[in-house]
Structure 1
């Protein structure tokens, strides 16, 4: 194995959590293919530079805290990155249910403010619902939380 490429690959993984697929693509850009690429990936895993469970947890936590994404959107994005079912499950466990519901409530309150000029109640509710679906929240949870918040204000 070329030590310069190993060092370059390790630095690539140190800068930010990566998936095996991302590293494979980068190795191809560096003209490293086949068995040599797989050996480098294996070395990165053994040396703990590359850890997909760690990637999935960091990704899920970050997208939830910063972008306020729901679990469906996070899972869909991780699946695109070819993350295993086990690692998907581990990533979602990182999001506490209480934080999840609190975030959902806050998004509902914020969006309710944004759509208050809409005179039709059902259209307002539909806009809020569609917004939260696009963020990746579960439809049953959205409806339950809207109902809970409405009962608090009435």
Structure 2
């Protein structure tokens, strides 16, 4: 079985094993990569089944790793993490499991430090505009609106 670009099934499988070993991948990324390589649909299915069987590809593991990484490194809130996982066609079940990776204490303290840091950097003298800018920043990063507005009331009375 060859692709349009001349990759054999074995070559493509090896390439994708390396691709999945480098970092966790979701099924959508792998499928897109195989399509970009010009593989036919039967070959794509065969390779994906192989990658899952050999534990190179695991959606639950991907979702957990993604949620942990985006929360710890990029300081994203649950809303943004959920939306990004949905965009990658991750199941609701795996999204729920991924969100369990984020501890409630960590979540609250991260929101606190992120809000404090952003507030210090805002030079806006108008109180209403400062609130709005802080809210927009936190909402964009995916923090729940009720938590954001509570935090703003607390920080900018």
Q: Same fold (TM over 0.5)?
A: yes
Deviation at 1:149, TM superposition (A): 4.6
The 5 Å alignment of 1:5-154 reads: 5-115=12-122, 117-149=123-155
Considering only aligned residues, what root-mean-square deviation do their CA atoms show, in Å?
A: 1.6
Deviation at 1:112, TM superposition (A): 1.3
1:92-121 CA distance string (max 9 Å, x none): 111111101101000111111112x32222
Q: Aligned to 1:103, what secondary structure does the other structure show?
A: helix
1: CA distance between counterparts of 2:145 and 2:37? 44
1:22-64 CA distance string (max 9 Å, x none): 1111112222121221011011001100001111111111111
2: CA distance between counterparts of 1:109 and 1:31? 49
1: CA distance between counterparts of 2:48 and 2:115? 43
2: CA distance between counterparts of 1:141 and 1:48? 38
1:1-40 CA distance string (max 9 Å, x none): 7322221111111011111111111112222121221011
Deviation at 1:148, TM superposition (A): 4.0
Deviation at 1:85, TM superposition (A): 0.7
Bigger share in helix = 1
> How many equivalent residue pairs?
150
2: CA distance between counterparts of 1:19 and 1:111? 33
2: CA distance between counterparts of 1:25 and 1:126? 39
Which structure 2 residue ranges, 5 or more long, are not aligned?
Answer: 2-8
2: CA distance between counterparts of 1:65 and 1:106? 12
